[in-house]
Amino acid sequence: MPTSVAALRALVEQRFPDALPITHRTTAVATGLAALDHILPSGGLPRGRLSAWVSQGGATAILRAACLATVTGGERAAWIDGRGAVGGVVWDDGPILLRPKSPAHALRTAEELLRSGGFGLVVLSGLEPARTETVRLTRAVREGGAALVTLANETSMASLRLASRVLPSGYRWRLDPFGGPAVAQQAVIHVRAQAPGWNAQTNLTIPIAHHELRLSLDAALADRRGVRR
Amino acid sequence: MSFVCLWTPRWRTDAASAAELAPALLACVPRVTTDARGRIWADARGLDVGIVVEAIASVMSERGETDVRIGAAMTAMAAEIAAEYGRRNAEVVFVEPGTDAEFVAPHSVEVLGASPQLLTLLEGTGIATCGDLARLDQEAVEVRFGVEGVRLWHLARADDRRLIFTEVPRELPHASLDWADYTLTDPERLVFIINALAERVTTSLEERGESAREIALVLSLANREQSIHRVRFTRPTASRKTWMRQLRAVLDRVTLGDAITGVLLRVEAIAARRSPQGDLFDRGFASAGATEQALAQLIDDQGEILLTPRRTEHPLLERRTRWVAESPALLVERSGSAVGAGRAPALPHLTLQLLPHPEPITVLTREQRDHQIPVRYRDARGWHELGEVSGPDRTSGGHWEEMYAREYFRGVREDGVLVWVYRDALHGSWFIHGWWD
């Protein structure tokens, strides 16, 4: 069977060399990462379509960069934080951050923003839309023309499915004087993009940002030197 | 000339006559007012005062007011004196433009309306006429006669700062419907009526090029009470659709004491439409209005959800950020192309994502030099192996509020996610606080 599918694909490509699957004939919002855009069917996140990203690490970093790239390009980007997980310490100006009070509110927010037509990229994170809700979102995104990316495990209605994970062996550490890991400096993210007739993957090396951990200078507390067991 | 003053000694004791006469003068001038001393003031600013005075005299004559004296001048003070103290045998006294101060000067300071105490003081100082007072320095007057003296000094110089004609507040758009034969209890019919009223009011606003910032829905009840509900919009709007959505939300919550006998929908506060200058090359400008409207609608529906972080220096990360609500207009402006123009594309970074609240976990540790490091932990999803672990990063404080002492560790889980866990050194319990994504 795989052989026959491959043969059929080769035959179609031979007969219609310039043909593109319908899902690929869209304009796209570039993520700003050349290596990622290269593996996406239309060179970016498709406009007017739903993209679903199943993340085991790395998606937030990449999509935040994509939001900033969208703003840099003169369009608006919005991030709907359904779980309140976006840390204010690391949030940059540019994209509009919305923190609805509940998943239902987050879905309504997404629908409203998508229909407004004022956004190039909308990211919906922290909730799992049900199938009926996903249908509504796909209609809204088609109406407004934005690129919608949901960070969820449900991918059945998406025209582009993305999956990412951090490779456990891909961390690069700065070592402490004893040779143990001190600070993780960068990680390797494996990203796979799938669409009808499309399957591509890449590895992205991404630095790790660390917040400033302010240590107390109070000498009176016993735990300053750690607690022996 | 601007001010026309009408006066007769009869009106001192019969102020009602003046009040009755005033409306008749509106045929001659756009604004008429009366004061406490029974004078009538006509606003002739921008008009030919000769024609105005002639018309007023004609009205007086028609109504049999034969003893009315009329004074016309550029300043109210001069017009007032001309009417009250002008030539007795002349019906009309015109004060030539630019000569108001000269006209006022020979008159006694009593015409300025000073209090008896100040009049005694002025008399004792030898100031008898307005000209005597006008010749003094303001500073000298202020030192000797106080605030009232300064007010009279200005009037004596025909520098009249009184507001004779106050601004007439413009009536805001409204629409109402009352019925007496029956009472209304059906919510659908009520919405239908409100919708019709909203259509009329929004059309009126559209014609004026304005938007409503706040509207009021007044329901008259059969028990003669009124139920008033105010709706304030984040972004001024004249959209009936937006109004109705907000009004429906209000009606959903309200409980009325009786059936309805009337509905009034009125605009409480208006704002002019804003038309900002756009940049031809701004790709987001064309959609800025729609974006702002969508965001405003979300705030109207859900409350403050547009937030930006304000960072503090608090040692604990979960308390370091304070989320502050932003206005849609400001956010749209900041999120437009002007923000990103010229900025280099941002490179992605794995950043710390915090759980809303640290979640307790069970941890297995091993000893490393002088401390214990986590090697496995169990959360709601089961056990997780930690590969490389760095730490501890110790932080403590909060003596005067809520004491804390934590040992933070970063560890790579078996699925590759870098997690942030800590041990509460005060109680010995472990928590997962976040992960890098």
Three-state secondary structure of B90-140: CCEEECCCCCHHHHHCCCEHHHHCCCHHHHHHHHHHCCCEHHHHHCCCHHH
CB contact under 8 A, B388 and A170: no
Report the alpha-carbon distance of residue B112 to residue B336 in Å, rounded. 61
Residue of B nearest to A166 (CA): B416
Band the pLDDT of B207: cuts 50, 70, 90: confident
Best A92, A97, A111, A165 residue to mutate vs chain B (most B CBs within 10 Å): A97
Q: Name the residue with higher pLDDT: B274 or B320.
A: B320
Tell whether A125 lies on the interface with B, counting CB pairs under 8 A: no
* Min Cα separation B403/chain A (Å): 10
Write B140-146 long-range contacts (CB < 8 A, 24+).
B145/B118, B145/B121
Nearest to B68 by CA among B2, B11, B112: B11
Residue of B nearest to A99 (CA): B305
Q: What is the pLDDT of residues B4-38, one digit of tens each?
A: 998 887 765 565 666 777 788 888 888 888 887 77
Whether residue B344 has pLDDT greater than 70: no
CB contact under 8 A, B353 and A85: yes
Band the pLDDT of B64: cuts 50, 70, 90: confident
Q: For residue B195, what pLDDT is reported? A: 92
CB contact under 8 A, B339 and A108: no
Phi, psi torsion values for A141, nearest 5 degrees: -70, -35
Percent above pLDDT 90 for chain B: 21
Q: For residue A225, what pLDDT is reported? A: 39
Q: For residue B325, what pLDDT is reported? A: 79
Phi, psi torsion values for B155, nearest 5 degrees: -65, -35
Report the alpha-carbon distance of residue B356 to residue B437 in Å, rounded. 15
Q: Name residue B362's beta-bridge partners.
A: B378
Phi, psi torsion values for A16, nearest 5 degrees: -125, 75
Tell whether A191 lies on the interface with B, counting CB pairs under 8 A: no
Residue with tokens 């992960």: B435
Band the pLDDT of B1: cuts 50, 70, 90: low
Which of A165, A211, A215 is closest, CB to CB, to B394? A215
Tell whether A39 lies on the interface with B, counting CB pairs under 8 A: no
Q: Helix (H, G, I), strand (E, B), or coil: what is residue B237?
A: strand
Q: How buried is A14 (Cβ within 10 angstroms: 0-12 exposed, 13-18 middle, 19+ buried)?
A: exposed
Whether residue B340 has pLDDT greater than 60: no
Report the alpha-carbon distance of residue B35 to residue B259 in Å, rounded. 45
Residue of A nearest to B318 (CA): A87
Tell whether A77 lies on the interface with B, counting CB pairs under 8 A: yes
Average pLDDT over residues B168-183: 84
Nearest to B291 by CA among A124, A112, A48: A112
Q: Name residue B393's beta-bridge partners.
A: B408
CB contact under 8 A, B437 and A213: no
Write the single-letter amino acid at A229: R
Average pLDDT over residues B104-132: 90
Q: Name residue B408's beta-bridge partners.
A: B393, B422
Tell whether A146 lies on the interface with B, counting CB pairs under 8 A: no
Residues A175, A181: contact at Cβ < 8 Å? yes
Whole-complex ipTM: 0.80
Instruction: Compute the mean pLDDT over every residue in chain A, rounded to the nearest whole number.
Output: 82
Reported as type and span, the H/E element at residue A79 is strand A77-81
Instruction: Compute the mean pLDDT over every residue in chain B, rounded to the nearest whole number.
Output: 83
Partners of B408 on chain A (C-beta within 8 Å) are 213
Question: In the numeric block, which tokens belong to residue B99?
Answer: 């000569």
Question: Which stretches of chain A drop beneath a pLDDT of 70?
Answer: 1-3, 17-26, 88-89, 212-229
Report the alpha-carbon distance of residue B263 to residue B251 in Å, rounded. 13
Tell whether A157 lies on the interface with B, counting CB pairs under 8 A: no
Whether residue B321 has pLDDT greater than 90: no
Residue of A nearest to B355 (CA): A85
Q: For residue A226, what pLDDT is reported? A: 41
Residue of B nearest to A78 (CA): B335
Q: For residue B252, what pLDDT is reported? A: 82
Residues 6+ apart with CB under 8 A from B342: none
Partners of A88 on chain B (C-beta within 8 Å) are 309-311, 320-323
Residues 6+ apart with CB under 8 A from B260: B183, B184, B185, B190, B219, B220, B221, B222
